[in-house]
Amino acid sequence: MRAAVAKVILFSAVVAAAASLWASDQKDKKSGVWDSGSFGIFVNGRRVGTETFNIEQRPDLNIATSEIKVDDGKTRATQTAEMQVTPSGELRSYVWHAIFPQKQAWNPRTSSWWNT
């Protein structure tokens, strides 16, 4: 189950990041929050979590943040992510952290996990 939850969470973060890049091409160049909201995470038709996200454009940087909370009755997890992308689409940074049940982080450059 833990691997499935991790895959769902990582997929959600990638979707939020892609939405940020797409939004930067679709809207005029004003600064501010472009989109925010939440998604339900369902497994076999049962809600097990929620992802909240925020996509913000600044003159020199687009920032997508998300927080995911999962509780399926057996496993609880809270994770956050932040991605920063320049207006030209260059990835400036990506930070992912697990806050609960165990503090962890992920490095996308090496595809490695470590405890924090």
Q: SS in 3 state form for 69-101?
A: EEECCCCEEEEEEEEEECCCCCEEEEEEEEEEC
pLDDT tens figures, 12-61: 555 555 555 555 555 555 679 989 999 999 999 999 999 999 999 999 99
pLDDT value, residue 30: 67
User: How do the domains of the chain map onto residue ranges?
Assistant: 2-115
pLDDT of residue 69: 94
Q: Which pLDDT score is estimated for 38?
A: 96
- Report the predicted TM-score, pTM, of the whole model to 2 decimal places: 0.63
Nearest CA among 17, 15, 4 for reference residue 43: 4
pLDDT in tens, 63-98: 999 999 999 888 888 999 999 999 999 998 888 888
Using the predicted structure, report yes or no on whether residue 2 has a pLDDT greater than 60.
Answer: no
